[in-house]
């Protein structure tokens, strides 16, 4: 099964990156730990942190009494259009057990970064690389080689040479300038034609909305056919549950089965 989604491109110069992680840190709720002079997100020690994905961010809050305070802070940030609490998540179909206590939705001209560090010089080593598994959130800046990097192609060639020699290396050529991103997606769209597109080679697996409830459509049972081309009784078998293929493609007990030799 394959799925695609229309990428909602906006060429506005005004698109901005939301600094919600740094605000949570400045409020004292998000914690970092220092490793070799670099700051790593310490989710376990944090009272609130966010996992960002373009224009959506799941915000996890450790203590129930902090949820309203965190929500108020997020709503006050520029670029945040809406913050969903428990009722809002149910309304949007996001009330999954693994969802954050809050879900922040960006304005059409904004998106959320994962940056938890306040100083680029103390950013984790993976921040300037393409590393989707270690970054605590999606990073579309990975699409861009740092334009401020002198001789970027030569640097890439040097890193590849280090790889071929079996040396440890980091392909550290990605910018930390979030303003390079001029388009984003993920938030609910105002126009249906700009919404997500779902394409599947197995349409029977798609859940359709019927009478306000979801139901799974299943295909009609397909009978098994042996080499003789017969089905069920044509093969001398009764009942589909008894009709099975043998390893050579013939149904056991098939009257049309050719003798060996």
pLDDT digits (tens, 9 = 90+) for 163-216: 999 998 889 999 998 888 887 877 877 777 777 777 888 877 776 544 344 444
User: What integer pLDDT is reported at residue 81 of this predicted model?
Assistant: 92
Pair of tokens at residue 112: 């959320």
Percent of the chain with pLDDT over 90: 38
pLDDT band per the 50, 70, 90 thresholds, residue 253: low
Cα(50)–Cα(102) distance, integer angstroms: 9
Average pLDDT over residues 117-133: 92
Torsion 222-223-227-230 (CA) sign: negative
- 116, burial (CB in 10 Å: exposed 0-12, middle 13-18, buried 19+): buried
Average pLDDT over residues 53-62: 92
| pTM, to two decimals | 0.67
User: What integer pLDDT is reported at residue 190 of this predicted model?
Assistant: 77
Q: What is the DSSP letter of 145?
A: B
Cα(79)–Cα(14) distance, integer angstroms: 11
Task: Using alpha carbons only, give the angle 171, 19, 31 rounded to the nearest 5 degrees.
Answer: 80
């Amino acid at each position: 099964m394959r799925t695609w989604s229309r990428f909602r491109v906006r060429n506005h110069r005004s698109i901005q990156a939301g600094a919600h992680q740094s605000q949570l840190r400045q409020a004292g709720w998000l914690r970092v730990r220092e490793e070799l002079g670099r700051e790593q997100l310490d989710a376990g020690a944090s009272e609130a942190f966010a996992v960002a994905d373009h224009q959506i961010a799941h915000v996890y809050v450790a203590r129930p009494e902090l949820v309203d305070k965190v929500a108020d802070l997020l709503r006050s940030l520029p670029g945040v259009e809406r913050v969903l609490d428990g009722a809002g998540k149910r309304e949007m179909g996001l009330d999954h057990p693994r969802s954050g206590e809050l879900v922040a939705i960006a304005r059409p001209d904004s998106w959320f970064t994962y940056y938890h560090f306040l100083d680029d010089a103390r950013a984790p080593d993976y921040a300037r690389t393409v590393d989707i598994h270690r970054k605590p959130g999606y990073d579309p800046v990975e699409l861009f080689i740092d334009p401020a990097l002198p001789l970027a192609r030569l640097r890439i060639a040097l890193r590849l040479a280090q790889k071929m020699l079996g040396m440890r290396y980091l392909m550290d050529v990605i910018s930390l300038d979030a303003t390079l991103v001029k388009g984003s997606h993920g938030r609910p769209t105002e126009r249906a034609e700009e919404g997500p597109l779902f394409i599947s080679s197995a349409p029977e697996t798609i859940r359709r909305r019927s009478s306000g409830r979801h139901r799974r459509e299943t295909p009609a049972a397909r009978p098994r056919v042996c080499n003789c081309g017969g089905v069920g009784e044509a093969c001398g078998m009764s009942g589909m549950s008894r009709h099975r293929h043998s390893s050579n493609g013939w149904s056991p007990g098939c009257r049309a089965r050719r003798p060996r030799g």
